[in-house]
């Protein structure tokens, strides 16, 4: 039986991180960011953690990174605020380079695989922290490769969300992996960096109400301003990690009465939202929202071209009062999710882009659970030449819910979200409650603090 440390040992850095610039000249210009890119809600980096059984030479990885950055040159640039009144973000494509850090940690891949069931703050040492005065000063791409005692490695990447979405991160990582293994092959998808297909109209035409957003003042529920998001941020949080197999998801779908044809995402998103609201024990009269990412590349007219390398997703919004959500069966929530998805037409998305010209508009997080889907993006299939990862997931857990891939089981989904310590047990109970006999063999990870 392995005796595991409660937290990860320290990383040892033999050298200072280096800047990896594109290996050949790249365009030097300011890159316009669309209103979907330039949202305050997206001003953070998407941080992935990969565990590999065998390491790849850092020199090989740095060389292939310099080669792939020729095609993905905005990731080697720097974000900056434009000189206009609205201070809109843009990318200075200057080829300055991505940060690449190398480290060693006295732990084995097997030991970390056991610890991967228990997210905690110590994982953050696996991602090099760039000392910066502001978000804009952090390079769009930061990589840390940590070699392990057993000959394995952990690779962590931080990719700025204003530059691309989950589809874009997967596209880049697979391009880097291919450049590592087969540098002479053409890239399977050529990135398209121009964002003008998502420019707002002039004049703006906001033709729909957009419940995903709110202007600066928090909205009112009755006579009192209530902000669940603020409450959650103020609490000691515990990350939960629950794996749903195909049979579990089928069991959830069968909870819809009357019967309703739905996707795995629709069923699991509705169930997670309902369990979260029940666990928080909110007043039955409050209105709650579910915000979830929806790829709109094929919903626009004309469709966004393949390889588009910007944010091509918007937030779908399901909303209802607490009473209707928690006292109804699965049908009610699933139907709301489906209606939110079907409302995202070309006209609706164009109206949303126009709305975001108003910089006083922000994502309404006050009464919302946010779900981001990392499964079905191929993130778990990344292979730099020594095999696919033993584990793939986020560096840390947060109050935003992630639907994660499960290595070795394409149909399964791991639901990870941090909840207040005081409601942790209730949340897990409600997540498992309606599965009945299907809960046999149900996988709930041991949890640590994040």
Query: Which position among 324, 347, 383, 443 bears the catalytic label?
Result: 383
Cβ atoms 290, 336 nearer than 8 A:
yes
User: Can you tell me the distance from the alpha carbon of 162 to that of 75, in angstroms, rounded to the nearest whole number?
Assistant: 11
Going 323 to 326 to 328 to 331, the CA torsion angle's sign is positive
Cβ atoms 164, 311 nearer than 8 A:
yes
Cβ atoms 447, 239 nearer than 8 A:
yes
User: How far out from the chain centre does Cα 289 lie?
Assistant: 19
DSSP string of 52-118, one letter each residue = ESS---HHHHHHHHHHHTTTSGGGGSEEEE-SSTT--EEEEE----EEEEEEEES--HHHHHHHTTS
Query: Which position among 161, 210, 271, 391 bears the catalytic label?
Result: 161
Please count the other Cβ atoms lying within 10 Å of the Cβ belonging to residue 207.
13
Please count the other Cβ atoms lying within 10 Å of the Cβ belonging to residue 8.
21
Cβ atoms 72, 309 nearer than 8 A:
yes
Token pair recorded at residue 32? 């316009």
User: Can you tell me the distance from the alpha carbon of 64 to that of 68, in angstroms, rounded to the nearest whole number?
Assistant: 6
User: Can you tell me the distance from the alpha carbon of 347 to that of 193, in angstroms, rounded to the nearest whole number?
Assistant: 23
DSSP string of 144-167, one letter each residue = EEEEETTS-EEEEEEEETTT--HH
- Burial of 117 (C-beta count, 10 Å sphere; 0-12/13-18/19+): middle
Q: Measuring CA to CA, how many Å separate 406 from each of 63, 237, 327, 361, 409?
A: 30, 24, 31, 36, 6
- Burial of 5 (C-beta count, 10 Å sphere; 0-12/13-18/19+): exposed
Active site residue 230: no
Active site residue 383: yes
User: Can you tell me the distance from the alpha carbon of 252 to that of 314, in angstroms, rounded to the nearest whole number?
Assistant: 26
Token pair recorded at residue 372? 């981001």
- Burial of 59 (C-beta count, 10 Å sphere; 0-12/13-18/19+): exposed
Residue owning tokens 């959650």: 232
Strand 78-81 relative to strand 401-406, pairing: unpaired
What residues act catalytically?
A: 161, 383
């Amino acid at each position: 039986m392995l005796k595991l440390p409660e937290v990860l040992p320290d990383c040892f850095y033999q050298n200072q991180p280096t800047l990896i610039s594109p290996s050949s000249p790249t365009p030097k210009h300011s890159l316009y960011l669309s209103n979907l890119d330039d949202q305050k809600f997206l001003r953070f980096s998407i941080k992935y953690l990969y565990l590999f059984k065998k390491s790849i030479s850092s020199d090989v990885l740095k060389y292939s990174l310099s080669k792939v950055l020729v095609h993905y040159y905005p990731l080697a640039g720097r974000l900056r605020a434009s000189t206009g009144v609205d201070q809109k973000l843009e990318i200075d494509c200057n080829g300055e380079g991505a940060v690449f850090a190398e480290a060693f940690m006295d732990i084995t891949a097997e030991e970390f695989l056991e610890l991967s069931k228990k997210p905690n703050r110590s994982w953050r040492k696996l991602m090099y922290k760039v000392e910066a005065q502001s978000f804009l000063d952090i390079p769009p791409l930061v990589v840390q490769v940590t070699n392990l005692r057993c000959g394995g490695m952990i690779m962590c990447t931080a990719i700025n969300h204003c530059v691309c979405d989950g589809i874009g991160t997967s596209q880049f990582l697979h391009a880097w992996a291919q450049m590592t293994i087969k540098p002479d092959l053409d890239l399977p998808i050529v990135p398209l960096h121009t964002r003008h297909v998502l420019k707002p109209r002039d004049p703006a035409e906001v033709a729909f109400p957009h419940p995903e957003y709110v202007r600066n003042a928090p909205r009112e529920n009755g006579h009192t301003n209530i902000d669940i998001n603020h409450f959650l941020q103020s609490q000691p949080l515990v990350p939960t990690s629950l794996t749903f197999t195909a049979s579990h998801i089928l069991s959830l779908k069968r909870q819809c009465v009357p019967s309703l044809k739905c996707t795995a995402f629709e069923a699991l998103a509705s169930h997670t939202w309902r369990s979260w609201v029940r666990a928080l024990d909110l007043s039955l009269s409050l209105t709650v929202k579910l915000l979830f990412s929806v790829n709109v590349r094929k919903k626009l007219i004309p469709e966004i071209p393949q390889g588009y390398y910007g944010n091509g997703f918007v937030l779908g919004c399901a909303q209802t009062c607490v009473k209707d959500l928690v006292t109804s069966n699965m049908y009610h929530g699933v139907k709301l999710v489906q209606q939110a998805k079907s409302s995202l037409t070309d006209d609706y998305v164009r109206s949303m882009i126009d709305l975001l010209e108003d910089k006083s508009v922000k994502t309404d997080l006050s009464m919302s659970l946010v779900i981001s889907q990392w499964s079905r993006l191929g993130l778990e299939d990344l292979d730099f030449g020594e095999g696919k990862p033993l584990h793939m997931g986020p560096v840390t857990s947060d109050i935003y819910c992630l639907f994660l891939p499960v290595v070795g089981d394409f149909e399964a989904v791991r639901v990870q979200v941090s909840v207040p310590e005081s409601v942790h047990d209730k949340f897990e109970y409600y997540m498992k409650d309606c599965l009945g006999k299907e809960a046999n063999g149900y996988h709930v990870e041991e949890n640590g603090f994040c």
